[in-house]
A and B are shown apart, each in its own frame.
Chain A
Amino acid sequence: AQSVTQLDSQVPVFEEAPVELRCNYSSSVSVYLFWYVQYPNQGLQLLLKYLSGSTLVKGINGFEAEFNKSQTSFHLRKPSVHISDTAEYFCAVYFGNEKLTFGTGTRLTIIP
């Protein structure tokens, strides 16, 4: 079955430290990959996406992600986090059926 896994439900990080949020998917077909952020009491906002081309994708707010086909991963990274990055982050995948499948989310908490 096609699925999206975000193993870390919560990630605490000190302010100005780097962070990596992990996302893995299971599929043998071509996929399209997304990261969304959800701030408290708000909807989702697109951070970045991979459709094709360079496997390193840069997004908004200083985030980037790398598509690794062999490891079926699309981890999100930021070299230095800020208090305002506190939010929930969702990895999402199109498996070719045009239905966006989301991971269970990772709550990022920034420690001052």
Chain B
Amino acid sequence: DTAVSQTPKYLVTQMGNDKSIKCEQNLGHDTMYWYKQDSKKFLKIMFSYNNKELIINETVPNRFSPKSPDKAHLNLHINSLELGDSAVYFCASRNDGSVYGYTFGSGTRLTVV
């Protein structure tokens, strides 16, 4: 019955590798987001998709590429991982009719070694 689920929960990988994080929401929401939370707990938006269309694309390295195969899924692929990519990545979703109703997943803790 998880509303926004992310996989994997933990990811440890070496520099230079390519990895993907997957997100699924079963709330019927229209918009999905990727946020990055650094070690100081600062949460910053990376991307947003509305019904499979990219609507927010913050200043993020080209190594990060989101993909939304359908309204319920938003994946994040990262190429050539760097040490600075280590963070917790949160997926979130929101119904367009709700200004405040953001639902977050539990996060994917990425560690690049």
Is B one of A's binding partners? no
Binding site for B on A (CB under 8 A): none
